[in-house]
């Protein structure tokens, strides 16, 4: 189970679309970037 303060898959997808869309405001992109920075990533393979 993911940590409750991490960004979920649907929210991360929406944030990614926001960052790629050229029509969104700088404030929206800042919020989307913040959301993605809290996304729980995969552990690296070693």
Name the average pLDDT for the chain. 83
What pLDDT, on the 0 to 100 scale, is given for residue 24?
Answer: 93
* pLDDT tens readout for residues 5-16: 788 889 899 999
pLDDT at 44 over 80: no
Residue 45 has pLDDT above 80, yes or no: no
Euclidean distance between CA atoms 37 and 33, whole angstroms: 6
32 vs 25: CA distance, rounded Å: 11
pLDDT of residue 21: 94
> Angle between the 9-20 and 26-37 helix axes, to the nearest 10 degrees?
140
| pTM for this entry | 0.67
Q: What is the pLDDT of residue 38?
A: 84
Residue with tokens 């800042």: 30
Distance of alpha carbon 15 from the chain centroid: 5
């Amino acid at each position: 189970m993911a940590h409750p303060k991490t960004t979920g898959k649907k929210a991360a997808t929406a944030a990614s679309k926001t960052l790629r869309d050229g029509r969104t405001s700088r404030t929206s992109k800042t919020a989307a970037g913040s959301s993605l920075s809290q996304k729980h990533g995969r552990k690296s393979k070693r």
